[in-house]
Amino acid sequence: MLQPTKDCRDRKALLRFQRHNLLSIRCIREDEVGFVVKKVSEAALTQSPVDLSKTFFSLTASIICRVALGQNFHESAFFIDQEKIEELVTEAVDALGAFTFSDFFPGVLGRFLDLLFQRHKRINKVFGELDAFYQHVIGDHLKPEGRKDPDIVSMMLDMIDEQGSEDSFKLNMNNVKAILMDVFLAGIDTSAVTMIWAMAELVNNPRVMKKAQENIRTTLGVNRERITEDDLGKVDYLKLIIKETFRLHPALPFIIPRETMSHVKIQGYDIPAKTQIQINVWTIGRDPERWTDPDDFKPERFTDSSVDFRGQHFDLLPFGSGRRMCPAMPMGVANVELTLMNLLYFFDWGLPDGMKVGELDMEEAGNISIVKKVPLQLVPVRRY
């Protein structure tokens, strides 16, 4: 997200920032996933249904708040609670995906119609609340004791303090807020959505669920007390499940829009310069010309396949491609893999209220991100 300037001090600050990310995110992620396992274990004692939709959103919000803000919801009192943050993120995503006239009539006409019909009222409200939230966080970090525990805000404020007058690019508070906006809106929602769809598909496909659990438990061994990031990448079948989830349920059905730099002709259509283009990765993932049985959840389709989700294969683009692809892809994938590995190792899962396989509501909802319309509730049974 941040590019080093010519100044050596800035480069050193950036390297410290990157090293901090690699080391601290691992500990934070393991702690937060462990907390989820503990809470699910409590529900398993009474065989009570667990709202996994809420659980996953709470998990990703906790990870992001600790990494970005240094705030641990489980240990410290914060001026804004976890549910409010999740609510703000959801409202912001919905507001960004709402229709505006400017999207279809660029220029004065579109802006006039948006003003006339108050299309930006909701966006301005929610982003005003987010701006106040970011300002409060930055204010806390500017206090003498505010940077005792390194986090993303601390690192960026340190970079601002170390900037020299000769620097060609100067980081400012607006840049800090913009980065926090990216972290929150892209980090909390997308990972949670992917985990929800993965668990929904697994419980709808008992064969795949059983194979995944057997593969994880055989690979990691029995009676493990804890699963850590050292175990990531060991379970091949789980990787296939994550790929198949990205194919069927990309968190963002349309990747971030691009704008043409010059006139181009695509399949006989003339596309003028400065035209906004959106790539429908949801449709690509279900294209029958590219995929066999495209509507079926079949992780085995990726066995011995070179197709990956890291932007090099245009059949599978959940994170986009090129210079503008999602910069937080490694963090998001690790969040998903570690969480699923823990939940599938330690627990067996069933449907609540006498529901049978195939009766789970899989209806989609949303605009920018596509979520499961009905929250996912499953009953855990502790295995180890």
- CA dist 177 and 68 (Å) reads 11
- Say which residue the tokens 């006139």 belong to: 263
326 annotated to bind ligand = yes
Contacts of residue 83, defined as CB under 8 A and 6 or more positions apart, other chains included, come to: none
Q: Which of 366, 339, 287 is nearest to 91 (CA)?
A: 366
Is there a contact between 44 and 381 (Cβ–Cβ < 8 Å)? yes
Contacts of residue 160, defined as CB under 8 A and 6 or more positions apart, other chains included, come to: 170, 171, 172, 173, 176
Alpha helices in the chain (DSSP H): 8-46, 52-69, 82-96, 108-116, 121-142, 152-161, 173-204, 206-220, 236-248, 281-285, 329-346
- CA dist 252 and 326 (Å) reads 11
Is there a contact between 349 and 383 (Cβ–Cβ < 8 Å)? no
Is there a contact between 319 and 311 (Cβ–Cβ < 8 Å)? yes
Is there a contact between 141 and 147 (Cβ–Cβ < 8 Å)? yes
- CA dist 132 and 58 (Å) reads 21
Indicate the annotated binding residues.
326
Indicate the annotated binding residues for heme.
326
